[in-house]
């Protein structure tokens, strides 16, 4: 245990919810772990954890300490990345929090393009929608976030935005597929497949339905955008997604997409962001610039 950092054992205790359970996971005695915690608390002059009848939880002082340690670790990673960049090694690690629509096509394409010239850079991609993405930035669990219609933007710096009109997805040969643009009222006569309520596309649609009075009663709801993309190929169902989450060769899956008129359904906004005031490591900063260029090119295209 002498090599264990304060953050490591604090996070282990916080995850486990008790000192005894954390000690078992760390393969040390609870007495030794408690002794290390008490020494840290004496040094701080405040308890790191609140002792509860059935375990522990981080105290306000503990939350501040964890945030400080994570911030220091992120700064050290940034300096290491800058040193490696100066030496020509081009190493680094990039952690990305993103909405589900970015996972199938856009991010794999961009990461592969980046790694083609920087093979020593590693990536961690985490599904984090809306509030979760901002929390990941604040906790230094992610360097950058790419999210549709975030709930809050109070603690982040916006690096780029991209407009994402909502598209209706339907089978090839569907009666609505002949239209260049679809009105929301056109979809009433067909079964609807909608994302579950926490997702931004669903929030945009619910608001539009309240405003227009056009109500789509979902036959199917799902938290999987992949499911909602494939399902219309099997019946005359209409589902809804943003174009960045749709493949270029959509018709190979026997489905097509058509934009829904923005007179009925406003476009969503995709945000590329980082934590406000944080200096990103070199690899993360370079990748963020690449993403900003790609979003701009996709928008112009």
Spacing of C-alpha 115 from chain mean position = 20
Q: Do 274 and 155 share a domain, yes or no?
A: yes
Tell me if the pTM is above 0.75: no
CATH number at residue 122: 3.40.190.10
CATH number at residue 220: 3.40.190.290
- 115: containing domain: 64-163+269-300
Q: What is the Cα–Cα distance from 257 to 177, expressed in whole angstroms?
A: 8
Is the distance from CB of 72 to CB of 54 less than 8 angstroms? no
- pLDDT of 222 reads 94
Walking along the chain (301 residues) 10 residues at a time, the average pLDDT comes out as 66 85 85 86 87 86 80 73 61 89 93 93 91 88 90 83 94 93 94 91 93 93 92 92 86 87 93 90 91 82 50
Q: Do 279 and 262 share a domain, yes or no?
A: no
Q: What is the Cα–Cα distance from 143 to 89, expressed in whole angstroms?
A: 20
- pLDDT of 206 reads 94
User: Looking at the domain assignment, is residue 196 inside a domain?
Assistant: yes
Q: Do 51 and 69 share a domain, yes or no?
A: no
Q: What is the Cα–Cα distance from 20 to 70, expressed in whole angstroms?
A: 24
Among 58, 75, 97, the domain boundary falls at 58
E-strand spans in 165-245? 167-171, 192-195, 218-222, 238-241
- pLDDT of 300 reads 54
Question: Diameter of the chain by CA atoms?
Answer: 72
Q: Do 143 and 131 share a domain, yes or no?
A: yes
How many structural domains comprise the chain?
A: 3
User: Looking at the domain assignment, is residue 43 inside a domain?
Assistant: yes
216 HSE (CA, 13 A, CB side): 31
- pLDDT of 129 reads 84
User: Looking at the domain assignment, is residue 1 inside a domain?
Assistant: no
């Amino acid at each position: 245990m002498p090599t264990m950092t304060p953050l490591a054992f604090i996070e282990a205790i916080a995850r486990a919810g008790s000192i005894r359970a954390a000690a078992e996971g760390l393969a040390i005695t609870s007495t030794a772990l408690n002794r290390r915690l008490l020494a840290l608390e004496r040094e701080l002059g405040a308890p790191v954890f609140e002792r509860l009848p059935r375990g522990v939880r981080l105290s306000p002082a503990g939350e501040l300490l964890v945030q400080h340690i994570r911030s220091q670790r992120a700064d050290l990673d940034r300096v290491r990345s800058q040193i490696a960049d100066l030496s020509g090694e081009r190493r680094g690690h990039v952690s990305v929090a993103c909405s589900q629509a970015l996972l199938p096509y856009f991010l794999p394409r961009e990461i592969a393009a980046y790694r083609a010239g920087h093979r020593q850079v590693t990536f961690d991609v985490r599904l984090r929608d809306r509030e979760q993405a901002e929390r990941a930035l604040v906790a230094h669990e992610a360097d950058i976030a790419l999210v549709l219609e975030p709930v809050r933007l109070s603690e982040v710096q916006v690096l780029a935005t991209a407009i994402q009109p909502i598209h209706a997805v339907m089978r090839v040969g569907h009666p609505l597929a002949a239209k260049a643009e679809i009105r929301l009222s056109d979809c009433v006569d067909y079964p609807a497949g909608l994302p579950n309520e926490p997702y931004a596309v669903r929030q945009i649609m619910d608001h539009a339905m309240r405003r227009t009075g056009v109500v789509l009663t979902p036959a199917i709801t799902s938290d999987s955008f992949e499911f909602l993309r494939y399902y219309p190929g099997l019946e005359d169902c209409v589902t809804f997604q943003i174009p960045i989450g749709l493949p270029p060769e959509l018709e190979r899956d026997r489905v097509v997409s058509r934009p829904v008129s923005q007179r009925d359904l406003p476009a969503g906004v995709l945000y590329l962001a980082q934590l406000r005031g944080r200096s990103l490591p070199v690899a993360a900063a370079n990748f963020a610039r690449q993403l900003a260029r790609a979003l701009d090119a996709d928008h112009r295209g």
